[in-house]
Structure 1
């Protein structure tokens, strides 16, 4: 028995040992390739934390004045819990980066102010109650996500217009840009608003900060988009190392210039070049590390005044609603930007787990971060790289108190400004290249309303504008209608599925189209989209064909379109959406395009030929067995009254042991099976062979 277990375990141990050695040997290469994404992801976490983490509590000289470092460590802990869940499979996006949800900061601060108004500044239960309320927001937000995911309500977000999502993302870019502008200003400065924007930004004491933050962020954004700079740098701006190296140059120059100019640290803090950290919260231990995780000591449930949460109920509910509404914005837009598929129900459940975990460790809500995830993924970041970033983020909690006093405000401000500019340009500039003027008007309306009215109100304005526009084009006839093949053409027997679309095709057509194509009751070789009754198509709905084409290719199926006239308005919509339509696939190479035809008859004929070609490739003549060749040969002889002996009489005798088919092949014949609908080629070589054979027989005769 012992010998049996030793023998049965040996192959398993060999496999484990082999894989372990392979992992260890490839680890240096993987670490080198992961370096750009790890640097970028960790830099995002550091700068995001030091730029916004200290804003978690109200910034005043009253009860919350000594909670800067606690807010910073809470921010990092929320980011860490989110990234751990994302790394361990909480998201289908391999490069998904999660962080504290910045959009809820006004509501968090509002909750703290409401509780302080109910209890007073000197109440011993004020801080414990605020901490309990913050943790409660995470648990409620997570519970809402989990419930939506379990009930499979994530599919409802498919009906959200892409134009509204684009406008909301642009509004987030505006808010980040404003936050980046006022971030380096000292606490003595007035809050930035429309009324005092000019006087505050261009004040004499602020000009240096403005120049040191705005111009580096602007140049970084321009350099990533400029073709001339790309040529001048020989493609350096496309490197994954470019953004982290560029951002690290800012603090390097800063700390080289400060000693050279002889400016004191106190003066830099007073003028806004360094963050102001209360000395009372920097408590070093004997080992030199700062107790950055001490926010847990603020929890004392014996002192929590639960009744005071009634005064903050409005901000608490709005926080949960805003947090839930953000996910339908980030996930579809992230999938659209990265050109990947997604499962909203899965993402809802993963985000719910991350937020419940954040509440259990006593920190604030978090969410997948759109901009960070895009840049991290483009830097070749995945789960392996995220695991390293998570480990470094855990170390950051321990030493964040030592790090914060040495991070220049201009570095954090430049990063926030850069992200704001990029999101704004993504909504305004890039969208203008692909959207029609009606679609673009929805983007502008959503962006403007979210900026000036608030996020929830602006999102409602965008939905209303989109509904008004799409109602004009016709909502009733927009879903794809699946028809039987014999209803479309009764004479053919192809494995095809026909979907007829009509009217103005927009986002409401996408769910029915995806369901009919990606989850049909039976697999089909051809999915024919009939646009003969359609007159226009929305950009987002047109781009769905790219994903359908990519996923059907894995199933050995293909998308075919008909009813589209060249140079028509419908054709222009596909061109604007960058969907490659090939109108003459019989002449032009199809490659990664979609075979497109003006009429149903032309589409039918091409599908018939393509079906025959596939069958022929699957059953090549040289691979046909002898029985199949004999059946084809005898059938040919019966149809055309072909006598083999009249051709091969002088090459074989009656007592030849060979059967007719082998005799025919031995004499130089060839059996080729052509399927119905396939064109029989007339090659010059075949004619010459026949002429030479006839000439030889004449000489022999």
Structure 2
């Protein structure tokens, strides 16, 4: 119970967020408003107690709104409750059979495209309610009839909705002590209070007797195939969202990791309880879970207590809900629906070439239906994955000594054989060929194609040297040994860029000193003879053209990501790729000396600041001083990153932790470029056009380097105010 002092206040914060969202989701689904509160109670108490995540909070979710609305229209509310019970039973069975991991095979682009499509549909439908009208039967109808609705809008109802959205927009820009109240609750209080004081003519919500008047679920009347399909759809969508939410929340806290099968089982029981009591389907909700973690929750008691607070509110204070204008709840849903469209998710999809999957899913959900849109996205994702797996590229270049160097990349299967043979046959007869196989698999058809070409080429007077870069696919097949389909760690010989753990010559149990010694031996044997002439020229003097400032992170290799060699980069590395402003405290002569030497002596042409994704220094800044407790020197150094944290301002509170961290890592690079201008030599050379400042960003997961745009804030206008006084030099 030591965690209760953290969980109790966190549960109150989540409760204040959950009530308005639960009511709004129930309204959008066409269900009784009490159903939203019942789902929040069941999700908090049952899923919180039985689920596999210690910090995830469950309740009604906007992603199922379209499905529930269709079921209510087709079968009625009580029959929909029975379908919810069936969906929970399906989840329970899947969890018992350890099927939870299968949900992680769904492409995130499909999930985020589905959520964005649902968000747009909800926003368009509820916008009609905000304007005083009624939503139409489809997203296109809502869009086409919106102009007419705007012409006929009702004054007081519109004012309540506009007031609600205005408060939501400005709330995170208010002082921190005011923002302790969750934005949805504050906006509802403001809208309801002003509507009551001025006697606005708005639509009121009546929840009297809704909790206590319970009626049992009833059997749906209709084709049982459709009923079973609806239950399966709810089970899969709610289960996938819950499990993906589990994975996301695991990255946001330091506690025990989630048990996905237990989570799926707990969600199944919660859905059965919610359906039996007349509630909406339940799923893990990222907004509530993120709020729970940021409020300091340590255990599942926070989710359970949040459900108890909702229950007490519904039983004792349910009469207060009639003070809330329905247009204000609709405005909350419009705001929430728009926020499901995340540029961060779209950026990640673009980085992995999955934007078509995202857009097809989004368009399918909006234009056709939820299930159809998701299936279309899954089908396209599978086709793109198959295309990548079967794609083969052949790159050829003529070396100065007359040899032809060819590299075959991809997975060599029978599907890529036509393209492979076409490229190989363009190599002139009699040529000496070095063929690198940069592949992760080779089937028999591909082996036969390469081997037959090799025999023909050598028969006509040419020579072929084949090198397997990743395992010995060709060598094993040529020797008659069995080729295993499993992918193996890359082959290290002569490949200096591979980590030690990926090399056969340095196993995981090899001592660090032995790894270093073997590495130097490898350098002397393979690399030094090639570079010795270059080092002989560089021995007398260095003439780098770039000062490269980057993070000390072990995953960042400047020469690798810039394709540079000895003598190109004058490199400075520190935690967080920080450049202390001139004259700042605590001072740092190391970085200052490097800048001074690079600009004054080496006369570099460019200073580059290179940041990267998932930077530990930026994560520590984002998490607050508690992260560096017990590390006084690190905490003092990270003070130089405070301007970067200030730069993103209130935006960090509006985003998921990963998105906020990515934004901070990028903005930190721009801040350090501005800090460079506080040094007199740098500023004068930039003004004269003799020096250029460049920002780079390395996304580790996708191995992509991008050039960041110049800082949008600009530098101060005059030299007299641009920089602080130059510190005295020792």
Q: TM-score, normalised by structure 2?
A: 0.50
Partner of 1:357: 273
Aligned CA distance change for structure 1 residues 102 and 317 (closer, same or farther; 3 Å): farther
Partner of 1:689: none
What is the CA–CA distance in structure 1 between the aligned matches of 2:22 and 2:260, rounded to whole Å? 28
Q: Does 1:565 align with 2:560?
A: yes
Q: Does 1:96 align with 2:56?
A: yes
Larger relative contact order (CA 8 Å, sep ≥ 6): 1
2:261 is paired with a residue whose SS is: helix
Match 1:257 to one of 190, 194, 211: 194
Q: Does 1:196 align with 2:144?
A: yes
Q: Does 1:177 align with 2:94?
A: no
1:325 is paired with a residue whose SS is: helix
Q: Does 1:139 align with 2:74?
A: no
Aligned CA distance change for structure 1 residues 414 and 255 (closer, same or farther; 3 Å): closer
Aligned CA distance change for structure 1 residues 482 and 221 (closer, same or farther; 3 Å): farther
Q: Does 1:295 align with 2:330?
A: no
Shift of 1:463: 1.9
Q: Does 1:446 align with 2:361?
A: yes
Backbone CA RMSD of aligned residues: 4.6
Partner of 1:331: 243
Partner of 2:302: 385
Q: Does 1:418 align with 2:328?
A: no
Q: Does 1:395 align with 2:343?
A: no
What is the CA–CA distance in structure 2 between the aligned matches of 1:182 and 1:162, rounded to whole Å? 31
Shift of 1:56: 5.7
Q: Does 1:268 align with 2:207?
A: no
Matches within 5 A, 1:335-350: 335-336=247-248, 339=251, 342-350=258-266
1:199 is paired with a residue whose SS is: helix
2:151 is paired with a residue whose SS is: coil
1:347-371 alpha-carbon deviations (Å, 9 max, x no partner) = 2112112122334445442111122
What is the CA–CA distance in structure 1 between the aligned matches of 2:389 and 2:560, rounded to whole Å? 21
What is the CA–CA distance in structure 2 between the aligned matches of 1:295 and 1:559, rounded to whole Å? 62
Partner of 2:528: none
Alignment check: 8 A CA contact 1:79 1:99 kept: yes
Q: Does 1:152 align with 2:64?
A: no
Shift of 1:310: 2.8
What is the CA–CA distance in structure 2 between the aligned matches of 1:81 and 1:292, rounded to whole Å? 16
Q: Does 1:213 align with 2:148?
A: no
Partner of 2:584: none
Shift of 1:186: 4.7
- Aligned residue pairs total 428
What is the CA–CA distance in structure 1 between the aligned matches of 2:561 and 2:387, rounded to whole Å? 25
Aligned CA distance change for structure 1 residues 198 and 474 (closer, same or farther; 3 Å): same
Aligned CA distance change for structure 1 residues 55 and 577 (closer, same or farther; 3 Å): same
Shift of 1:406: 0.9
Partner of 2:496: none
What is the CA–CA distance in structure 2 between the aligned matches of 1:291 and 1:353, rounded to whole Å? 26
Partner of 1:408: 325
Alignment check: 8 A CA contact 1:104 1:319 kept: no
What is the CA–CA distance in structure 2 between the aligned matches of 1:445 and 1:189, rounded to whole Å? 25
What is the CA–CA distance in structure 1 between the aligned matches of 2:63 and 2:228, rounded to whole Å? 13
Aligned CA distance change for structure 1 residues 182 and 444 (closer, same or farther; 3 Å): same
Shift of 1:79: 2.0
Partner of 2:384: 469
Match 2:285 to one of 369, 378, 383: 369
Alignment check: 8 A CA contact 2:162 2:331 kept: yes
What is the CA–CA distance in structure 2 between the aligned matches of 1:363 and 1:178, rounded to whole Å? 25
Gaps of 5+ in 1: 1-18, 59-70, 117-129, 283-289, 488-497, 503-515, 529-557, 570-574, 583-590, 592-701
What is the CA–CA distance in structure 2 between the aligned matches of 1:260 and 1:154, rounded to whole Å? 51
Alignment check: 8 A CA contact 1:134 1:363 kept: no
Shift of 1:143: 1.7
1:142 is paired with a residue whose SS is: helix
Q: Does 1:242 align with 2:179?
A: yes
What is the CA–CA distance in structure 2 between the aligned matches of 1:479 and 1:75, rounded to whole Å? 51
Partner of 1:119: none
1:438 is paired with a residue whose SS is: coil
2:561 is paired with a residue whose SS is: coil
Partner of 2:222: 310
What is the CA–CA distance in structure 2 between the aligned matches of 1:576 and 1:197, rounded to whole Å? 48
Alignment check: 8 A CA contact 1:292 1:399 kept: no
Shift of 1:244: 3.2
What is the CA–CA distance in structure 2 between the aligned matches of 1:311 and 1:155, rounded to whole Å? 32
Q: Does 1:41 align with 2:14?
A: yes
Aligned CA distance change for structure 1 residues 111 and 580 (closer, same or farther; 3 Å): closer
Shift of 1:189: 7.0
What is the CA–CA distance in structure 2 between the aligned matches of 1:200 and 1:315, rounded to whole Å? 37
What is the CA–CA distance in structure 1 between the aligned matches of 2:280 and 2:29, rounded to whole Å? 9
Partner of 2:719: none
What is the CA–CA distance in structure 2 between the aligned matches of 1:392 and 1:107, rounded to whole Å? 28
Alignment check: 8 A CA contact 1:292 1:401 kept: no
Aligned CA distance change for structure 1 residues 576 and 148 (closer, same or farther; 3 Å): farther
1:93-114 alpha-carbon deviations (Å, 9 max, x no partner) = x332211344445544544554
What is the CA–CA distance in structure 2 between the aligned matches of 1:141 and 1:434, rounded to whole Å? 30
Aligned CA distance change for structure 1 residues 414 and 456 (closer, same or farther; 3 Å): same
Match 1:500 to one of 477, 480, 489: 489
What is the CA–CA distance in structure 1 between the aligned matches of 2:616 and 2:180, rounded to whole Å? 36
What is the CA–CA distance in structure 2 between the aligned matches of 1:377 and 1:96, rounded to whole Å? 8
Alignment check: 8 A CA contact 2:47 2:269 kept: no
1:18-54 alpha-carbon deviations (Å, 9 max, x no partner) = x8xxx6xx97xx27x853x334322233212332335
Aligned CA distance change for structure 1 residues 523 and 441 (closer, same or farther; 3 Å): same
Match 1:51 to one of 24, 44, 47: 24
What is the CA–CA distance in structure 2 between the aligned matches of 1:525 and 1:363, rounded to whole Å? 58
Alignment check: 8 A CA contact 1:81 1:354 kept: yes
Matches within 5 A, 1:525-540: none
Relative to its length, the structure with more helix (as a share) is 1
Aligned CA distance change for structure 1 residues 434 and 110 (closer, same or farther; 3 Å): closer
Shift of 1:210: 4.6
Alignment check: 8 A CA contact 1:449 1:457 kept: yes
Alignment check: 8 A CA contact 1:74 1:295 kept: no
1:433-479 alpha-carbon deviations (Å, 9 max, x no partner) = 67427223332232222222222211122222223333333265669
Alignment check: 8 A CA contact 1:332 1:342 kept: no
1:98-153 alpha-carbon deviations (Å, 9 max, x no partner) = 1134444554454455457xxxxxxxxxxxxx62x334213211121122222222
1:255-282 alpha-carbon deviations (Å, 9 max, x no partner) = 553465354xxx333xxxx33x4xxxx7
- Report the more deviating stretch, 385-394 or 204-213: 204-213
Aligned CA distance change for structure 1 residues 397 and 479 (closer, same or farther; 3 Å): farther
Match 1:84 to one of 45, 54, 73: 45
